[in-house]
Amino acid sequence: AAMAGGGWARAVRGLLLDVSGVLYDSGADGGVPIGGSAEAVRRIKASGLKLQLCTNETQATRENFVRKLRAMGFDISVAEVTAPAPAACRLLKERGLRPHLLVHDDLVPEFAEIDKTNPNCVVLGDAAENFTYANLNEAFRLLIGMDKPVLISLGKGRYYKETDGLKLDVGAYMKALEYACDVQAEVVGKPAKRFFESALAELGVPPEQAIMIGDDIVNDVGGAQQCGMRALQVRTGKYRPSDENHPEVKPDAYVNNLAEAVDIILQHL
């Protein structure tokens, strides 16, 4: 409520929303919507504000991801989702790269059109149960055997929240391969500037008229602010009170959840 008079809510034309931890908490059972979030998405659309989901989700194709969100009551289309896999495919094609995939089984169809013979790079996603020692070691051996190792990571998150607790994210495994191979990964996804810029382009709104809402202080809030956007942190998902003392990143505001953020934004329209 202290933030309700915040100047941060003014002159907004579009919202970028993180998904996991903002709209819902993922889980083995498919996950659970966060209270008020489906209604908040409806209110955003009814208000005429533009909306784009900007997610690092890499455990499903966009089609299946959207199907799951719709089943939870979210009025979202595939075109409204900016996700790392399609962005990675564009990059692979541009650079003539043939990936060895260490990703979730359900993400593999996103790479159907990509040549994967005789790989000359490794693409890492949130592989969950596929992050076995054998699979990591196979990726390591490929990289270490290359003259110029190329490691592409679909995000660099440290952990995320599922219904049964926190889970290690792709960034932890990315760091392991970086360290073992003495290579710098190229990140496709948040907080990469190019990724936010393509989400803004799909939104059709300049950064100063957009607000990013996320639960990840570094990847959502920090990444968006570096692109000239305002950014809010929700106190849902993997938010922890210690985030409010982050040494580098200061959100434009904290809100208890997406519904509260939308209340404030709509009051200023």
pLDDT in tens, 116-141: 999 999 999 999 999 999 999 999 99
**With respect to CATH, is domain 12-56+190-267 assigned 3.40.50.1000?**
yes
| Residue 18: pLDDT band with limits 50, 70, 90 | very high
Q: Average of pLDDT values for 163-184?
A: 97
Structural class in CATH, domain 87-187: alpha beta
The 10s digit of each residue's pLDDT in 214-250 is 999 999 999 999 999 999 999 999 999 999 999 999 9
The rounded mean pLDDT for the chain is 96
User: What would the two tokens of residue 175 be?
Assistant: 């760091």
The C-alpha atoms of residue 115 and residue 96 are separated, in whole angstroms, by 9
The three-class DSSP label of residue 161 is strand
Q: Average of pLDDT values for 96-122?
A: 98
Q: Average of pLDDT values for 59-66?
A: 97
State the span(s) of the chain assigned CATH 3.40.50.1000. 12-56+190-267, 87-187
Instruction: Tell me 29's DSSP state.
Output: T
User: What would the two tokens of residue 141 be?
Assistant: 């051996």
Residue 5 dihedral angles phi and psi, to the nearest 5°? -90, 10
Q: Which of 248, 187, 240, 192 is nearest to 220 (CA)?
A: 192
Partner residues linked to 64 by β-bridges: none
Residue 148 pLDDT > 60: yes
Q: How far is CA 183 from CA 148, 177, 179, 189, in A?
A: 9, 8, 7, 19
Question: If you search the block for the tokens 């929303």, which residue do you land on?
Answer: 17
The three-class DSSP label of residue 30 is coil
pLDDT at residue 5, rounded to an integer = 54
Instruction: Tell me 256's DSSP state.
Output: S
Residue 142 pLDDT > 70: yes
Residue 72 pLDDT > 60: yes
For residue 260, what are the contacts with CB-CB under 8 A and spacing of at least 6? none
